[in-house]
Amino acid sequence: MNLADLVARTRSLSGIRLESLRSDEQIEQVLNESYQEILGLYPWPFLKGSSTVAMSAEAETFTVPSTFRWLTSLVLTMGDKKVRLKQTTLDMIDEWDDEVGEPRFYARIDDRTIRVWPAPEDAASVEVKGQLEFAPLGAGDEPDFAEQFHPVVAYRAAIRLLQEEGDDSGRSEAYQFDAASYFQRMEKFYMASGDIGLIRIGSQRQHRRAR
């Protein structure tokens, strides 16, 4: 279902068929808010991505690509050596002596800047893995997840519209069960059990989520 299909489904569910009551643009906005709420709930596997960043010899820092929302791992390659960097703090790095060598740790300087310790003695590359940022749905766009779960976006949008209109028909309450059912199936379909390490952009803390 693309955005136009979702608008039509939302109108059908909510009974708001006249554009004089809600324009397509207004419904698209509610749909996108519902869509982004869903994508922000879990580290969904369909949003996983990776990118490689080059580091010159003795460079202490690199910039995380803006396409990432969360980081899950940083793997540095220098020559034939590869190491998964461990997170520490800038205060700890400042206490350590070696400035150049084989990198083992990293610390966050700000939202997008990572400091590596020690700085690589030769040119290196860092494979950045994590959760990608998600863009709002535009004309012709479909949600990033499997089509069988697309209706959950329309149900959540219809619930909000009905509540805003002061629904007393009981539909918004009934749709909450439908939306929950779609979402539970989506969770089961995508999310494996176990811990998932997350390094949030804009945070010094490493978070862990478990189902």
pLDDT in tens, 46-89: 999 999 999 999 999 999 998 898 899 999 999 999 999 999 99
Please say whether the beta carbons of 72 and 92 come within 8 A: no
Do β-strands 195-200 and 68-78 pair in parallel, antiparallel, or remain unpaired? antiparallel
> Do the Cβ atoms of 87 and 106 come closer than 8 Å?
yes
Q: What tens digit of pLDDT does each residue of 114-173 get?
A: 999 999 999 999 999 999 988 899 999 999 999 999 999 999 999 999 999 888 888 999
Q: What is the pTM of this model?
A: 0.73
Contact 48, 130 (CB under 8 A): yes
**Are β-strands 105-108 and 86-87 bridged in parallel, bridged antiparallel, or unpaired?**
parallel
Q: Which helix (H) or strand (E) element contains residue 54?
A: strand 48-55
Largest CA distance in the chain: 70
Residues 6+ apart with CB under 8 A from 182: 149, 151, 152, 155
**Cα–Cα distance for residue pair 74/19, rounded to 1 Å:** 49
CA 39, 26, 166, 169 dihedral sign is negative
Share of the chain above pLDDT 90, in %: 75
Query: Kind of pairing, strands 206-210 and 86-87?
Result: unpaired
Q: Are 22 and 32 in contact (CB under 8 A)?
A: no
Query: Is pLDDT of 193 > 80?
Result: no
Over 70: is that where the pLDDT of 205 sits? no
Question: What SS3 state is found at 83?
Answer: strand
- In the structure encoding, which two tokens stand for residue 101, read together? 């060598």
